[in-house]
């Protein structure tokens, strides 16, 4: 990398100190000449001969050498005071992750056993936990938070980089922990309250539910408007089967299958700049969270910077050495 004169000048933190370099010579030039007195000097006939013999070691010659050392020391001292710096190699700053909140429905319908996982029939919550746990594993660098909701909404884990603690709280969650009903609007409102203080542009909520809003004080669409105004992006996931379960390869009715309000969930996502997804089984749910993982990437290329390395100790050390040499010669003169 070639540096222009301006670049070199910018590598001095305090370049104004360079204006002090000619100061000693200016003071010397402005100093009045010493008085010679009124009396005539005594002239010796052998004066010229004496000057020839001792001229090489005269104090004037010695003082001249001392002056050169002192001048160089002052020059280096001014350069050191200007604080010279050197550009180091480019450094890529670490990528920053998202502030990502996971909202999980724990209403009674999540206990519906209409999912398959590893060949076994499981309830919706068990399938959701398995997919979410894998999703959490892939979000290294994110600050994650876990919110659960039923009749009420609760934040189980505040924003943290500790994915293991989020995973443990997820594993301990059970159906009915927050009530049997579904308060989607209140869940969004609580998420917005927690995300509002996070950096703009990185506020993301992923909301998974298998029902319709049946409880709470806040309407989901109004909550989505509040989220949009706060810059919170919401991805909604409608999760649940068709009210049937598989037995020996046959689909049998399970007696459940509450209707999912896809229209409202789609409007929430669209109004906040997010995406709406529909998952009818665990495989589709895993694919959805993989897609969300792609939509909300962790690594973002940062702007490479070149750190400034301090170099003032070099001229400062040289100035001290020259000043010591000048002092030693002055004592010997």
Contacts of 219 (CB under 8 A, 6+ apart): 185, 213
- Provide the residue range defining the domain that includes 276: 99-295
Residues 153 and 283 grouped into a single domain: yes
pLDDT band (50, 70, 90) for residue 251: very low
pLDDT at 90: 77
Residues 208 and 136 grouped into a single domain: yes
Whether 151 has a pLDDT exceeding 70, the answer reads: yes
pLDDT, tens digit (0-9, with 9 covering 90-100), for 164-185: 999 999 999 999 988 899 999 9
Tell me the pTM: 0.59
Q: What is the mean pLDDT of residues 288-310?
A: 74
Residue 35 lies in a domain: no
Q: What is the mean pLDDT of residues 172-200?
A: 90
Residues 285 and 332 grouped into a single domain: no
CA distance 300 to 157: 25
Residues 136 and 225 grouped into a single domain: yes
Q: What distance separates the 2 farthest-apart alpha carbons in the chain?
A: 136
Domain total in the chain: 2
Mean per-residue pLDDT over the chain, rounded: 80
Contacts of 217 (CB under 8 A, 6+ apart): 185, 186
Whether 328 has a pLDDT exceeding 70, the answer reads: yes
Residues 196 and 287 grouped into a single domain: yes
Most confident of 53-67, 94-108, 149-163, 229-243: 149-163
pLDDT at 206: 94
Q: What is the mean pLDDT of residues 39-43?
A: 53
Residues 18 and 105 grouped into a single domain: no
CA distance 119 to 126: 13
Higher per-residue pLDDT: 186 or 314: 186
pLDDT band (50, 70, 90) for residue 9: low
Whether 152 has a pLDDT exceeding 90, the answer reads: yes
Residues 116 and 86 grouped into a single domain: no
Concatenated DSSP letters of 238-270: EE--SSEEEETTEEEE-S--PPP-HHHHHHHHH
Beta partners for 205? 101, 234
Of all residues in the chain, the percent with pLDDT exceeding 70 is 75
Q: What tokens does 324 get?
A: 């010591």
Residues 85 and 157 grouped into a single domain: no
Higher per-residue pLDDT: 83 or 63: 83
18-27, 32-41, 238-247: least confidently modelled range:
32-41
Q: What is the mean pLDDT of residues 251-266?
A: 67
93-107, 129-143, 170-184: least confidently modelled range:
93-107
Residues 258 and 313 grouped into a single domain: no
Beta partners for 147? 103, 155
Residues 146 and 240 grouped into a single domain: yes
Most confident of 29-38, 88-97, 172-181: 172-181
């Amino acid at each position: 990398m070639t540096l222009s004169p301006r670049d070199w000048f910018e590598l001095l933190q305090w370049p104004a100190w360079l204006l002090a370099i000619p100061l000693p010579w200016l003071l010397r030039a402005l100093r009045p000449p010493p008085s010679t007195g009124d009396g005539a000097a005594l002239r010796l006939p052998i004066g010229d001969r004496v000057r020839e013999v001792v001229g090489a070691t005269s104090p004037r010659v010695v003082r001249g050498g001392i002056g050169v050392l002192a001048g160089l020391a002052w020059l280096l001292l001014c350069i050191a005071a200007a604080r010279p710096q050197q550009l180091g190699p480019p450094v890529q700053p670490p990528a920053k992750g998202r502030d990502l909140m996971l909202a999980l429905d724990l209403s009674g319908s999540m206990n519906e056993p209409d999912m398959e996982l590893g060949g076994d029939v499981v309830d919706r919550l068990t399938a959701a936990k398995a997919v979410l746990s894998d999703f959490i594993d892939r979000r290294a660098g994110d600050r994650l938070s876990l919110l659960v909701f039923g009749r009420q909404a609760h934040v189980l884990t505040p924003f943290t980089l500790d994915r293991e603690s989020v995973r443990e709280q997820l594993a301990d969650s059970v159906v009915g922990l927050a009530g049997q009903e579904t308060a989607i609007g209140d869940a969004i409102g609580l998420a917005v309250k927690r995300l509002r203080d996070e950096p703009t542009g990185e506020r993301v909520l992923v909301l998974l539910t298998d029902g319709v809003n049946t409880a709470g004080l806040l309407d989901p669409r109004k909550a989505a408007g509040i989220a949009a105004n706060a810059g919170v992006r919401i991805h909604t996931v409608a999760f649940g089967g068709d009210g049937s379960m598989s037995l020996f390869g046959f689909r049998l009715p399970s007696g459940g299958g509450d209707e999912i309000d896809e229209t409202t969930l789609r409007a929430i996502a669209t109004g906040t700049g997010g995406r709406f997804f529909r998952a009818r089984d665990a495989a589709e749910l895993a694919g959805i969270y993989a897609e969300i993982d792609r939509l909300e990437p962790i690594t973002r290329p940062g702007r490479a910077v070149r750190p400034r390395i301090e170099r003032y100790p070099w001229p400062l050390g040289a100035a001290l050495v020259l000043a010591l040499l000048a002092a030693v010669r002055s004592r010997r003169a």
